[in-house]
């Protein structure tokens, strides 16, 4: 549930994005922010070539280099020092690791397969297939994936969780090793889509078996019965050892307010129905891809159940929104379907960004089905969003909120914004809490969101204005109509695919990339056959368990990292204002986000010639 999640496609046609680096060497964690690539001092001769042939050759060279030199058994993390001596996923990683979260292994696989579709080079296909087989090897017996896999074995992975993971203060999903799969951060859905694409190319049996396992996993994990019917939990299957409460230090700073709330208010959040990171929407999209391409009409019913779950979970007015997660069953005197707390910095509250996403999902469900019932309560949701916008004072007094329109969390009942803070300096002497104070909010988990209520209203009105004939046409072209098999979209890295892209006769347009842009990318590849870009976050190396020594200062309240024991990533240019931290410029390295972005541009150029 980390905020740097967002799929590779969101980076695909932007300038190359950042990667992760150790604070000892200057390495950095991949973040979806623009960065520059660096041209080789001595350009490869092909850089002088113009047109499709030169760009297609650059695609091949970049693909082969990543496959043969950067990957580990076909798997990828997020970023690497140029000599591969250190590497990072969402945290510092071992060389033997494979990161499933975008922009990791499946993201690279999609870029390689798109490059194959554009240029037809077998080297690109072999690299994509090897990446798919790495995901098949990393797939858990249950059929899904964890965030990360270690080819060195389970003991090695557990050791990483007990050291690097355990000390990542703000990365609670990595502080404990659970032997189950996660739907978080689009990892499972993105991997599943890559397996489906590869299987449809050449029907490779090992890929086919992995694809069957993940389809079965999605069906087994879907909630059955009651209000939660059709939803999915954060992780599956449920694990008895899951943490249900974060520790609260014995010592708290004297300045801590007395009216705070803290902790995981509804226990083990991994069992709740989750809408975080659009889990339900991502799973629906994959299942509909299988309906379209495999003729799996048996998957239509699970899709309809999922759509009904999202619709059903909308809260009663006047707070007609959704939370990150909802109770799957009654708990502590609260009914199933009620908003639930998640991690210790995700309080029990309604979430404005999740509500916006779910309204957009309802729009998609109407297009899929033609059923106006999905639109019936949209005006209530939009009216609620309009009622809880950030105030001018809140934006003026907190720079982290200045560019946002809404608070992230809104209190149940009072409709007041709740803001999350933290005290201390590391995982042992610090903790998260929340209250109504809009100042000193977290930098790594924004207290505000950008919600476009006017756009939501315009879309609602345009859909309501459709004629019966236009609605009938949508239904006829919907993947739910299941009238024979249709092909997948050809391109997965130009932009995020939506449910609309799965309609019959829908196309994903190829963006225009000019000769000068393509030549710049080929030149940046140089004779190294790889791109370098700034590694714009760093990590402290693991140095043992964090001390519990009390810390009453405020230096780490609005920073991505705590003291030197905290293994969480942060921007080296804006470290905590506490010795021995000092600002410094990022070093350069190889990042999967830069690779997928640059490959997408060259792919578009080659495909458009």
- What secondary structure does DSSP assign to 484-516, as a single string? S--PPPS-SSSS---GGGGSTT---PPPP--HH
How many Cα atoms are found within 13 Å in the side-chain-facing hemisphere of 52? 10
Strands 406-407 and 417-423: unpaired
pLDDT of residue 557: 98
> Which of 518, 531, 519 has its CA nearest to residue 39?
531
pLDDT of residue 45: 45
State the virtual CA torsion across 583, 589, 591, 595 in degrees, nearest 10: 130
Averaged pLDDT, 67-88: 97
Q: Who's near 511: CB < 8 A, 6+ residues apart? A: 13, 494, 601, 604, 608
pLDDT of 366 strictly over 90: yes
Residue 278 counted as domain residue = yes
Q: Which helix (H) or strand (E) holds 304?
A: helix 300-313
Residue 2 counted as domain residue = no
What is the rounded CA–CA span in Å between residue 543 and residue 564? 8
What is the rounded CA–CA span in Å between residue 78 and residue 73? 15
Average pLDDT along the chain: 92
pLDDT of 353 strictly over 80: yes
- What percent of the chain lies above the pLDDT cut of 70? 92
What is the rounded CA–CA span in Å between residue 163 and residue 153? 16
- What percent of the chain lies above the pLDDT cut of 90? 90
Tell me whether residue 41 is exposed, middle or buried, using C-beta atoms within 10 angstroms of its C-beta: 0 to 12, 13 to 18, 19 or more. exposed
Strands 20-22 and 537-539: parallel
> Which of 577, 568, 582, 580 has its CA nearest to residue 22?
568
pLDDT tens, position by position, 1-52: 443 333 333 333 433 333 444 443 333 333 333 333 444 433 444 444 468 9
Residue 1 counted as domain residue = no
pLDDT of 335 strictly over 90: yes
pLDDT of residue 50: 60
588 within 8 A of 4, measured Cβ to Cβ: no
> Which of 601, 514, 587 has its CA nearest to residue 38?
587
Q: What are phi and psi of 105, to 5 degrees?
A: -55, -55
pLDDT tens, position by position, 281-300: 999 999 999 999 999 999 99
pLDDT of residue 51: 86
pLDDT of residue 332: 86
Our measurement of the distance from residue 138's CA atom to the centroid of its chain's CA atoms, rounded to an integer in Å, reads 19
State the virtual CA torsion across 142, 143, 147, 152 in degrees, nearest 10: 80
pTM over 0.85: yes
Residue 3 counted as domain residue = no
What crossing angle do the helices spanning 592-608 and 515-525 adopt, rounded to 10°? 140
Provide the number of structural domains found in the chain: 1
pLDDT tens, position by position, 459-491: 999 999 999 999 999 999 999 997 889 999 999
What is the rounded CA–CA span in Å between residue 369 and residue 379? 19
pLDDT tens, position by position, 224-246: 999 999 999 999 999 999 999 99
pLDDT of residue 43: 41
Tell me whether residue 158 is exposed, middle or buried, using C-beta atoms within 10 angstroms of its C-beta: 0 to 12, 13 to 18, 19 or more. middle
pLDDT tens, position by position, 64-76: 999 999 999 999 9
Which two structure tokens, joined as six digits, stand for 69? 């030199």
Beta bridge partners of 327: none
Q: Who's near 186: CB < 8 A, 6+ residues apart? A: 5, 7, 101, 102, 277, 278, 282
Which two structure tokens, joined as six digits, stand for 565? 């024991």
Q: What is the span of the domain harbouring residue 561?
A: 8-608
- Radius of gyration of the chain from Cα atoms? 24
pLDDT of residue 282: 97
pLDDT tens, position by position, 379-388: 999 999 999 9
385 within 8 A of 358, measured Cβ to Cβ: no
What is the rounded CA–CA span in Å between residue 200 and residue 132? 12
pLDDT tens, position by position, 421-441: 999 999 999 999 999 999 999
Residue that is written with structure tokens 């019959």 in the block: 504
| Counts of helices then strands in the chain (DSSP H, E) | 15, 21
Q: Between 83 and 38, name the one with better pLDDT.
A: 83
Give the total residue count for the chain.
609
pLDDT of residue 18: 38
pLDDT of 609 strictly over 90: no
What is the rounded CA–CA span in Å between residue 412 and residue 418? 10
CATH code of 105's domain: 1.50.10.20
What is the rounded CA–CA span in Å between residue 424 and residue 432? 9
Residue 525 counted as domain residue = yes
Q: Who's near 35: CB < 8 A, 6+ residues apart? A: 15, 16, 17, 18, 533, 534, 536, 594
């Amino acid at each position: 549930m980390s905020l740097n999640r967002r799929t590779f496609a969101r980076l695909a046609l932007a300038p190359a994005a950042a990667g992760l680096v150790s604070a000892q060497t200057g390495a950095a964690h991949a973040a979806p922010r623009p960065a520059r690539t660096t041209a080789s001092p001595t350009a490869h001769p092909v850089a002088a070539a113009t047109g499709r042939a030169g760009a297609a050759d650059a695609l091949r060279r970049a693909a082969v280099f990543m496959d043969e030199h950067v990957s580990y058994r076909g798997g990828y993390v997020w970023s690497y020092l140029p000599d591969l001596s250190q590497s990072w996923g969402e945290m510092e990683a071992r060389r033997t690791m494979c990161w499933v979260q975008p922009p990791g292994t499946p993201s690279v696989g999609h870029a390689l397969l798109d490059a194959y579709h554009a240029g037809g080079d077998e080297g690109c296909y072999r690299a994509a297939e090897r990446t798919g087989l790495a995901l098949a090897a990393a797939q858990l017996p249950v059929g899904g994936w964890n965030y990360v896999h270690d080819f060195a074995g389970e003991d090695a992975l557990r050791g990483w969780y007990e050291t690097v993971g355990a000390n990542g203060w703000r990365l609670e999903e990595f502080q404990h090793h659970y032997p189950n799969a996660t739907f978080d951060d689009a990892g499972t859905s993105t991997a599943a889509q890559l397996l489906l694409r590869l299987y449809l190319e050449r029907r490779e049996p090992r890929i086919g078996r992995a694809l069957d396992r993940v389809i079965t996993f999605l069906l087994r994990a879907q909630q059955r019965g009651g209000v939660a019917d059709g939803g999915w939990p954060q992780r599956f299957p449920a694990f008895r050892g899951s943490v249900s409460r974060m520790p609260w230090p014995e010592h708290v700073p004297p300045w801590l307010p007395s009216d705070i709330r803290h902790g995981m208010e509804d226990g083990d959040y991994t069992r709740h129905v989750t809408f975080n990171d659009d889990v339900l929407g991502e799973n629906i999209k994959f299942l509909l891809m299988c309906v379209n391409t495999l003729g799996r009409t048996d998957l239509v019913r699970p899709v309809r159940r999922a759509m009904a779950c999202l619709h059903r979970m909308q809260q009663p007015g006047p707070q007609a929104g959704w939370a990150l997660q909802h109770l799957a069953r009654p708990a502590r005197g609260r009914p199933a379907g009620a908003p639930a707390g998640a991690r210790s910095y995700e309080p029990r509250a309604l979430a404005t960004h999740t509500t916006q996403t779910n309204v957009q999902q309802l729009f998609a469900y109407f297009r899929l089905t033609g059923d106006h019932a999905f639109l019936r309560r949209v005006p209530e949701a939009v009216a609620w969003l309009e009622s809880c916008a950030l105030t001018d004072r809140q934006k003026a007094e907190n720079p982290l909120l200045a560019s946002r329109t809404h608070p992230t969390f809104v209190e149940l009942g009072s409709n007041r914004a709740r803001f999350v803070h933290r005290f201390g300096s590391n995982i042992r002497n610090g903790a998260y809490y929340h209250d109504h104070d809009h100042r000193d909010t977290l930098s790594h988990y924004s207290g505000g969101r950008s919600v476009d209520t006017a756009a939501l209203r315009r879309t609602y009105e345009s859909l309501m204005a459709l004629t019966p004939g236009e609605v009938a046409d949508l239904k006829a072209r919907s993947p739910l109509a299941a009238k024979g098999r249709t092909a997948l979209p050809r391109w997965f890295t130009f932009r995020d695919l939506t449910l609309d892209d799965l309609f019959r006769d829908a196309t994903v347009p190829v963006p225009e990339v000019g000769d000068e842009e393509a030549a710049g990318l080929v030149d940046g590849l140089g004779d190294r056959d790889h791109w370098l870009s700034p590694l714009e976050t760093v990590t402290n190396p693991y140095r043992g368990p964090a001390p519990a020594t009390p810390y009453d200062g405020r230096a780490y309240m609005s920073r991505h990292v705590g003291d030197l024991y905290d293994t969480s990533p942060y921007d080296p240019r804006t470290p905590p204002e506490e010795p021995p931290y000092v600002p410094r410029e990022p070093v350069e390295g190889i990042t999967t986000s830069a690779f997928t972005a640059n490959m997408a541009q060259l792919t578009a150029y080659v495909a458009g010639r």
